[in-house]
Structure 1
């Protein structure tokens, strides 16, 4: 029906011009008063039988123009009874009020295939990835989910990048969540994928959003039940390497309340490995010796997670939501490393074994409360959010180091890493429609974070122990206005953030306070060539504040010769982001392309320097982040959804970019000589992903995902290309109430980060790192009191979205 309507609209557009009038109104589900998104309003000309009309938005609201005349009109929605509109003659702007559609019970009982939304929805300002339709991540983690999202990559260590830029802000339900813990990459590898409903990727956010994240924002939306009555699903999975788990999503909905929950248990074994072949040099450039490092590790995680909440409809216009979420994990990571030492002529000298027996435990809890007050005018509302969270993460390790064959060389270190984080968030957002197409927004956000890290080494011969306190208080105010003039629409905003940052190295008696405030303008301009073709131009200013391990002088001794050290003196980097986008929809194809430029001041780069410490005759190398003068990132990207046949869906993503850094870094080497490292570098690289879903005979779904990350150079070496493929099959059973899925992650076991590093007169190295080896998973899902592809008929929670007038 929708395609017919679009065809009718195109035909209608060719009619002789008459008086144009505006038709508006709202469509709700009868009995629940829930808005119906994508419901169709059909106007059929009494004389010509030509069609025109429109489609409702996420709030069930519709607004479109027609030529004044006589029409037979109706509202339609799949699995609902059509609702005829009694009025026949339309001569002026008309608000049809609220139209109620009743479920068609007979059709619901007989229907076998229900239209489902595409896995990836491409919009001009963002991409929305619907996790529920993806077999590839069944039984996986949120990190696996993100690795399937257009424009997003997750490297071998779990670091998330958007368009190749790691300075990305990750939100959970539209806000920074304490459940992410101390290290967001580690948290995403522990949270189960089935708790996620969808992922929103926003490359150039408006002023309404937190200004954090120079590369953009990724918003993870947690699943919440929507249908009336008691409904939900239960999922169990088992995999190799040893992995198993069970989870459930339960929901109970009444006329005045909605109880929702999801909880689960997971045990995961993620074996990994790495190798590093390093050649060390003397000061005159001659070879000093070689060290070939071989590492194996088993990351064992056992965890519980639960989320309980309730939506209370206090009045017809006031909804109060309360939710309590907690997560508990324990882990073991026995890390076994062999250092094969050779002299300058590659003659064996010795073999050292370093065994790091690491254990960890983590507990997170978060309480969130949300008020939504809707006023009489459509779109006029006030949102108030409060979130309070606490996270404790502790790591303990016993490290034994010994030259094989020499018992007297045995060295034992004990390390503890105690992390405590408290985060409080207060936010208010006000939306006021102005006139026919205008909208004004204003709001406040207060984010207050306190993080304490206590790292201790026993015995501490090199003064590695340190207690670091990080305090971040940010108060922000914003205002923005948008409107539409014919086919042109715009959205202009300004955000003010006042930052008060403390980085206190308590053990070193070094206290640093950084106070600064910034203005963050944003602007988006959009032009609709037609209902299926749009162009946009956007700008925003962003900030990236260093946190966690970037600031902590020492947080790990996993290796005794390659040590990562944070830099407490790091300053935030500021980015100016420009984006030009074009969106085109055809019958079977949606195509979105964009060109972008990001200019970053004081960008973070990593340097490797000789520490002056020698361990077993090998110089210890420190890796640390520093601020460089400039970084220029420019690229081109396109995304597409293509459905050549009803049984075959394709979506793909391609991103190519140029990254240029400019800056010098100088330090005093162990010999008292000033060493200047030049970081001027220009790198070209690209990334591609394609996802195919085919329905085979006997209704077996087959999904394939292939990706490639091209090589990239940096100032101290380069990373080589990475190709990988995932595979999945699924079949509905038990009268479509259950699904069994089989998936293979990293089919060819090829997901490895491969690096080549050169530091003149210090070291030249080649390394490979595989965070997780190939994994095979079998998953069983059972659904009760809901259809397999049941539509989400409740509007999404507005967590800072920027759907505005004129957006497709």
Structure 2
């Protein structure tokens, strides 16, 4: 079995790399360019198709698609052509017998909607599931069969440069110092990993990965930003999609995405219900030592977990074309979920000679529930069709999360309760002013205001609150930001320079102990991007930005995670933010069938967050209790190299691959007072190499069956207190279109070999341990999708210029 896994993985890697040598040489050509817009709204049409054919033959001799601004730039051999400009559900325009001998501007081409096509289902060629751009990667969820019936966590785990560990924690290029946005707005969930598991994949349109954001984006996210964009229907008339799914372990759900659009109004809604069962488990085997270094005893922990969740997710809104150049969208998002958790730990004790001396157990059963309501509003005013616009965004939300668990065991009984209420408000305005050909000015303001109240109690078997394990956290956050940036193009160089200022006022109050902490700071965050156009198909770019990571969620919450009574976790409300200087040098090259993108990067972070483990002085049945908590470590320096390759050798086969290699060096120390009152200083200096690789292959088999195979590998890495081991996982999926392509049935299997486990060794002064944790075992899902009045893979038409970045809209990189 091990050889089979390695063979499959190596074959996929070799397939994606060796094709680089298969490219054919190109010959001198001329440039044909222009812009495609929608006739009524005058807005640009992205993904409109331009094709060039010989006037004596229908065979296409060249072509391309428009970018987000509706612009196209195509190289062809000089000659006389018939030119066809088309977009789904629009009337095509054909220019007959156009003589092209030199660089030519076809000007602005306006397409008109074709009412006769709006109710037809036409299968069009799918665009790549991964689009590589100079400043970001865009992952189109609808093209990925792996995530059918899954959650946002499943989506992110298939995105290049992004990984999700077995506990649901998200990292980018190996770092978890990231910012996660939903429609450009930050998610403030205390447990963001759990929040992402509640949002179904069917509600997601695409994911943007921005490794080095400009000044228009929030400064938060030391290693970058992940922007999750929800579906928004834009097609004329009544249309939509319904998806039903079921799986093993017991999982089922149904969702619908429907919209109805008239000339002035667009009504859109997404609703879904899902029930999920996650079965997991793990173990921790520990050896304890006396002060003289001799073995004291051994403890083995075996854990089995089962988590069930059922939830409803809904979104409804109206998009109003107030005037031909003014658009106002209002939407309400609603989420509600409930769940049950069972966590059984069996303890086996051994003496110094590893002779069995007895066993105990600990059973945790709990219930949880949450509700989130959010109202969003977006107003866009276009002053002309050249990009001069004003955007205003606002949102308010309220989130509640309640949980209760009862912990029973051989020697103990506890009851824990956690009640959380969070309120959030955001306002932002962005102004974009083009100043001439290839240059533009941007400026904006953003305010984030949040209030979180978290009550956490641990009760003993008499119902009495255990004070040292209980507390009430009040967290208030007020962030105001201003930014400006200017971009321009000169010859083959493009420049973008920006400056952002953020003023932060945070209150972290522990009400039960009257411990009040206020943190006030303001910072400037410069950014600079320079791009050189080697040719129409290749570019070099270099960039710099200053980033910030604020501690949030479980990092700040002093409530003790009491799932294990000998290995516990506690947040640190005294954490300071970390600041990162990011440098990135990138190269991108496009051919007819391949896109290659590579980058070298360097990150220098001060006051980086790091987890440390130390004894508390308490013991349970003779076993010392170890506390894990985050601290501000001195410095982290990270050097890395990454490349992404998209290749389509044939119309029926697409291959995407991503490789990341990096070195991390941390310097710092941690001090604490041991049980004898002695000051202990832990040297946490560490340097480690790590690499990860991801390959995805999508192939159309006979009878039009689509087959997708993904493989992911994360290498082993040395840590300050031990080392983490490598991790391998492989997923597969099959899909088949039915009912004249109006429906699709898909079967996917995640973690085929059941190998997605987090494994690590930890070495402390008086203890060494080996641990494994698997949050979710192998999952099998079957889904059925039905589309009405909508084509498979159909790209939504831009009835208005998209502002997918939500509160972080602004303009695009110039040029």
Q: TM-score, normalised by structure 2?
A: 0.91
By how many angstroms is 1:241 displaced? 0.4
Q: Do 1:68 and 1:92's aligned partners in 2 also have CA atoms closer than 8 Å?
A: no
CA offsets per residue over residues 73-92 of structure 1, 9 Å max, x none?
Answer: 66344665432469989999
Confirm or deny: 8 A CA contact 1:526 1:806 kept in the other structure: no
Q: Do structure 1's residue 333 and structure 2's residue 341 form an aligned pair?
A: yes
Instruction: Tell me if the contact between 1:597 and 1:633 (Cα under 8 Å) persists in the aligned partners.
Output: yes
CA distance in 1, matches of 2:757, 2:74: 52
- Aligned mate of 2:715, from 710, 720, 728: 710
Corresponding residue for residue 618 of structure 2: 613
> 1:482: which partner in 2?
487
Aligned mates of 2:115, 2:329 — CA distance in 1 = 30
Specify the alignment match of 2:45 in structure 1.
36
Q: 1:665: Cα distance to partner?
A: 1.2
Shift of 1:615: 1.9
Residue pair 2:469, 2:559 contacting (<8 A) in 1 also? yes
- The one-character-per-residue Cα deviations of 1:33-88 (angstroms, maximum 9, x if unpaired) are 66421335578999xx9999985332434579999999976634466543246998
The 8 Å contact of residues 416 and 455 in structure 1, kept in 2 or not, is answered as: yes
Alpha carbons 2:722, 2:762 under 8 Å: kept = yes
Q: Helix, strand or coil for the counterpart of 1:788?
A: coil
Aligned with 1:779 (options 778, 783, 788): 783
* Alignment map for 1:308-323 (pairs within 5 Å): 308-323=316-331
- SS of the residue corresponding to residue 735 of structure 1 reads coil
Q: Distance in 1 between matches of 2:810 and 2:535?
A: 21
Report if the CA contact (8 A) 2:51-2:60 is conserved. no
The CA deviation at 1:175 is 1.1
* Alpha-carbon displacement from aligned partner over 1:361-404 (angstroms, at most 9, x marks no partner): 101010000000000251000110001011110110111121xx
Q: Quote the residue 1:749 is aligned against.
A: 754
- Aligned twin of 1:114: 124
Return the offset for 1:173: 0.4
> Which 5+ residue runs of structure 2 have no aligned equivalent?
1-23
Task: Determine the structure 1 residue equivalent to 2:772.
Answer: 768
* In 2: Cα distance, 1:733 partner to 1:50 partner: 30
Distance in 2 between residues matched to 1:216 and 1:447, nearest whole Å: 19
Matches within 5 A, 1:398-409: 398-402=406-410, 409=411
CA change 1:802–1:598 in 2 (3 A) is farther
- Shift of the 549–109 alpha-carbon distance from structure 1 to 2, 3 Å rule, reads closer
User: For 1:571, what is the secondary structure of its paired residue?
Assistant: coil
- Is the CA contact (8 Å cut-off) linking 1:659 and 1:683 kept in structure 2? yes
Q: 2:292 aligns with which of 284, 306, 309?
A: 284
Give the equivalent residue in structure 2 for 1:159: 169
Q: Is the CA contact 1:324–1:367 (under 8 Å) kept in the aligned structure 2?
A: yes
The CA distance in 2 between the partners of 1:329 and 1:44, in whole Å, is 55
**1:39-188 → structure 2 map (5 Å cutoff):** 39-40=48-49, 55-61=65-71, 75-77=85-87, 80-84=90-94, 96-97=107-108, 99-103=110-114, 113-177=123-187, 181-188=189-196
Kept in 2: contact 1:208–1:479 (CA 8 A):
yes
Give 2:197's aligned residue: 189
User: What residue number does 2:280 align with?
Assistant: 272
Q: State the shift of 1:98 in Å.
A: 5.1
Deviates more, 1:289-298 or 1:90-99: 90-99
Given that residues 245 and 265 in structure 1 are in contact (C-alpha distance below 8 angstroms), is that contact kept between their aligned partners in structure 2? yes
Greater RCO (Cα-Cα under 8 Å, separation 6 or more): 2
Q: Distance in 1 between matches of 2:75 and 2:649?
A: 32
> Shift of residue 668 of structure 1?
1.0
- What CA distance in whole angstroms lies between the structure 2 residues aligned with 1:110 and 1:491? 42
Q: Structure 1 pair 699/803, CA: closer, same or farther in 2 (3 Å)?
A: farther
Q: Say which SS state the counterpart of residue 755 (structure 2) adopts.
A: coil
Aligned to 2:363: 355
Query: Could you tell me whether the CA contact under 8 Å between 1:488 and 1:806 is conserved in 2?
Result: no
Deviation, 1:304, is 0.7
Residues 687-725 of structure 1, C-alpha deviations (whole Å, 9 max, x = no match):
001001110000000110111111011010011111110
Residue correspondences, number: 782
Instruction: Tell me, in whole angstroms, the C-alpha distance in 2 between the residues paired with 1:62 and 1:589.
Output: 18
Give the match for residue 405 of structure 1. Answer: none
CA deviation after TM superposition for structure 1 residue 11, in Å: 3.8
1:361-440 mapped onto 2 (5 Å cutoff): 361-402=369-410, 409=411, 411-440=412-441
2:802 to 791, 796, 808: 796
Name the residue aligned to 1:442.
443
Please give the secondary structure, in 1, of the residue aligned with 2:421. Answer: strand
Q: Would the aligned equivalents of 2:41 and 2:325 in 1 still touch at CA under 8 Å?
A: no
**Partners of 1:24 and 1:63 within 8 A in 2:** yes
Give the 3 Å change call, closer, same or farther, for CA 51–248 of structure 1 in structure 2.
closer
State the distance in 1 between where 2:626 and 2:257 align: 48
Which segment drifts farther, 89-98 or 504-513? 89-98
Structure 2 match to 1:643: 648
Q: Shift of the alpha carbon at 1:450?
A: 1.0
Is the contact between residue 528 and residue 806 of structure 1 (CA under 8 Å) also seen in structure 2? Answer: no
Paired with 1:95 and 1:652, the residues of 2 have a C-alpha distance of: 36
CA RMSD of aligned residues (A): 2.9
3-state DSSP of counterpart to 1:189: helix
2:202 partner SS: helix
Q: How does 1:187-266 map to 2 (within 5 A)?
A: 187-266=195-274
Question: How far apart in 2 are the matches of 1:461 and 1:71?
Answer: 82
Q: What does residue range 524-563 of structure 1 map to in structure 2 within 5 Å?
A: 524-563=529-568
Contact 1:633–1:657 (CA<8 Å) still a contact in 2? yes
Instruction: Give the 3 Å change call, closer, same or farther, for CA 735–94 of structure 1 in structure 2.
Output: closer
Cα 1:65–1:709 shift into 2, 3 Å? closer
Shift of 1:344: 1.3
Label 1:125 to 1:104 Cα distance change in 2 as closer, same or farther (>3 A).
same
Deviation at 1:734, TM superposition (A): 1.0
Partner of 2:452: 451
C-alpha separation in 2, matches of 1:114 and 1:50: 17
In 2, the alpha carbon distance for the partners of 1:451 and 1:548 equals: 10
Aligned with residue 468 of structure 1, among 467, 473, 476 = 473
On the 8 A contact 2:179/2:224 being kept in 1, the answer is yes
Q: Does the Cα contact within 8 Å between 2:477 and 2:504 map onto a contact in 1?
A: yes
Alpha-carbon separation, structure 1, partners of 2:803 and 2:151: 23
Structure 1 residue 628: Cα displacement:
0.9
Which range moved further: 727-736 or 276-285?
A: 276-285
Following superposition, the deviation at residue 569 of structure 1 comes to 1.0
Residue equivalent to 1:501: 506
8 Å contact 1:24–1:64 — kept in the other structure? Answer: no
Contact 1:552/1:567 (CA < 8 Å) preserved in 2?
A: yes
Q: Secondary structure at the match of 1:463?
A: helix
Q: What is the TM-score of this pair, normalised by structure 1? A: 0.92
The answer to whether the 8 A contact 2:369-2:401 is kept is yes
Report the 3-state secondary structure (helix = DSSP H, G, I; strand = E; otherwise coil) of the residue aligned with 2:155: helix
